[in-house]
Each structure stands twice: as C-alpha cells, then as structure tokens.
Amino acid sequence: MPIIVLGLSHKTAPDEVRNRHAFPAERIGQALCALRDYSAVREAAIVSTCNRLEIYADVSDFEAGVEQLKHFLTTYRHMRVDDFDKYLYTMLGAQAIEQLLRVACGLDSMLVGEEQIVGQVKDSLTAAQRAGSAGPHLNKLFRTALEAGKRARTQTGIGRDAVSLGAAAVELASRHCTLADARTVVVGAGKMGTIVAKHLRARGVAALTIVNRTPERAQRLADSLGAAYAGIDALPGSLAHCDLLITATGGGAHLVTAPMVRTALAAGGPRLLVVDIAVPNDVEPNAAALPGVTLYQIGDLREVVDAALDERRGEIPAVEAIVAERLNAYVRWYQSRAAAPLIAALRSKAEAIRRTEIDRLFDRLPELDDRQRELIAGMSVSILNRLLHAPVTKLRETAAGGAGVSDSDLAAQLSDLAGLGRQLEAQLAHALRPPEPRAGAR
C-alpha cells in the first residue's frame, strides 16, 4: 500500500517550529494544487491543526514520494533542512493509515479525545476534494478515519467530560488571576474563540469583550453571551482596559505587538495576563519581556491538560481496538482493489457474451415486439449479474487475502478469463434458450 504520511506534531516539534510551518486554512487548497504537480504524488491531503501538520499521500513509489513531499516543504513552506532530521516523522503503508485513524480518534492529540479533531479531519478531506487531490484511496481512508472517530466518541468514554484547548486556556488563566475580577478580552470569534468565551462566561468573568476581524461575527457571539464586542481595529484601545487577554485566531500575523502592549499598560492597569493559544501565535513573543506582562502559549497548557485527562486515558484500550478493526478493514479493501482490472475485464467479456446471445435469441424469435424484447434484455442483465456474483466475490476475496497479489497470481488461483467466458456463454445460452414447441401445438 503506497500510502505515506510526512508530518510534525506537538510530540516532535516545539511551538515555534509548528508556528513556522502551520498552514492557514485559506492556503491549503493552493498547497494541494501545488502537490498535484509532483510526479510521484497521485493523491494528497493536508491535516493542519494547532498541534500538527501532516501530509497524507498515495504515491507511486515510497522513496520518490517521501523525497518529493520534503521538496514541497522546502520550497513551499521554506522549511530548513535541519528541521527534517529533528522534527519530521515519516510513516509508510499500514503505519500511515493507522496514524490518521489515531488522529481522528483523538489518541494522538495533546488533549486526548479532543472533540474538535473530527471536524478538522473532515475539513481536510473537504479541502482535498475541492482541490481535486483526493482520489479513491484517500477518500476511503479519510471516511474510514471519520467513522472511527465517531465510533470512539459514541462507543467509549474517550470524549467524556469535554476538554478542549479553550477550556484548558481558561483553567490556566484562573490559576493566575481571579476571573470574577478580570476585565477580559478574547481575540477571535471562530471555533476556539467561541469555546474560550463560553467557558469564561460560565466561570463568571467580570467583563468580557470579543474582538474579531469581522465585527459582525464578534457581535453575534457577544450577543449570545451578554458581552461587548469590537473590530480588530479597536484592539489597542480594548487592551488599555484589560487584565486578561486570550487570543485564538492563528491568522499568521502578530495581532498583538510589544509596542501595542506597552502603550496599553501605560494607559491602563499595571499588569496583563496573556494566554495565546493560536498557531501561529497571535502575540509577539517579545511582549513577555515587558514589566507586568505574563505570557503563556499553547505548550504551557500541558500540565492543565494532563490533570484533566486522567479519566480519559482509561478508555484508550477500547479506542485502540476500534482503530485496529478499522485499520484491518481498510487494508482488506485496499488489497481487494488489485482485482479491479480483472473484474472489469470479466464484466466486459460477460456483457459482450450477453449481447451476442440476446441477438441470437431475437433472430430466432422475430415475432417479438419491442416491449417483449425490452423485458427479455432486462432479464438477461439480471441473470448475468447472478452468474457473475460468485467469480467476482472470489476475485475480491483472493486479492484481499494477501498484500501485493498480482493480476497474474489472481488469474492463476481462479481460472483464466477465457474459461470463465466459456462457462458464462453456456449458462446464458441455456438460460435464454427459447421454449420447445409443445407436442401437438400448431
């Protein structure tokens, strides 16, 4: 199975490396179109989240495919060569398939069982479909992964007591300030910003302002929570009346700069707690050096997350069983596709035989009208499908029974197409034989 994954994640790369190589959602389609130009890459999809960047590909050759994906990263994302050895991981075949299943089930997340990952995997598939880079193998793989993720959440407790990065960010903030007294600004009204804002409101934050590039979206979220809102242009002024800032946009540029924070501190309070959970970061790291500023980033949530996920870890074996079952099912499906050329050839030959026998029958029975001919032709198709069921099933089962079964091996294990053709011809001729005239009939 020439499926590979090349990636980096929170397990292998620090925040600043993941920030450097994060793919903004609006650029993934363009990147997938660029991947289609590589000769060894037949299909491709990109999973880009706050904790990972993974490129899944169906390739014509493992070695060439890996090299071309690395070349893509060096040219498209300007990844330095030393990043390869230190941070990138490569998985091939069944290991790559298992990786996506584990990702979709939340087993490979910093937040074990995180609820957002299924939606993110679905978005990755949608982007690949729109870019025309997802073919039959990745379409099937991603749908299998989504099915596994859904089963993990409905059949196990891996998603019990919802935990998210947004919830963890609020919990971290509560350990360093009194939320009931905090004038709070949330930057971002997307999925993560919404989660943050809802948790802040649930924890009784003193005052809440939602800031977003699109003021209308900020207003909708603010109205639902009884909060204030502002456009991104008003962010400097909002910071002047802020004790706690949580950012969650990941737009690729520093929305909050050190000079902006310095000005806000001079105009407002003496201290500012910042929790930046965006990838890439929303807050310029230099802001942490300013007097009175405490800055936490996504990597600082690990302790909070570990404390919140102890119960979920007990569900991991049950989820791994789902992953193993779906992995085996996908591998069987992938291997069964080796029989596709033979099945297509068999069906083509069988259809030719059917048409020949139908023409012979109609020549012998010229008195049949159009309606009768239509009914007989339909019946012949039904008969043919029944006759083909056994050999087609045998072809698929034989292919699925072992990796790398060639067409010649399949043909040898079953019988040659000419032999199957002669058998079908005899069976169809018998089934379509006109009835003998009854004795005494005129």
- Position of tokens 């139908």? 358
Distance (Å, rounded) from C-alpha 214 to C-alpha 216? Answer: 6
**132 conformational bin, left if phi > 0, alpha if psi -120 to 50, beta if neither:** left
Do the Cβ atoms of 165 and 298 come closer than 8 Å?
yes
**Has 242 been annotated as catalytic?**
no
Q: In this structure, which amino acid lies at residue 269? A: G
H or E element in which residue 89 lies: strand 89-92
Helical H segments across 203-315, by residue range: 215-225, 235-239, 258-267, 302-308, 310-313
Catalytic residue among 50, 105, 177, 242: 50
How far, CA to CA in Å, does 198 sit from each of 165, 195, 202, 291, 295? Answer: 13, 5, 6, 30, 22
Q: Which residues contact 233 (CB under 8 A, 6 or more apart)?
A: none
Distance (Å, rounded) from C-alpha 414 to C-alpha 375? Answer: 33
Neighbours of 419 (CB within 10 A): 11
Question: What phi and psi, each to the nearest 5 degrees, are found at residue 8?
Answer: -145, 155
54 has which bridge partners?
7, 47
Do the Cβ atoms of 383 and 350 come closer than 8 Å?
no
Which of 237, 221, 239, 218 minimizes the C-alpha distance to 284? Answer: 239
How far, CA to CA in Å, does 47 sit from each of 68, 204, 293, 442? Answer: 18, 35, 34, 76
Neighbours of 86 (CB within 10 A): 12
Catalytic residue IDs: 50
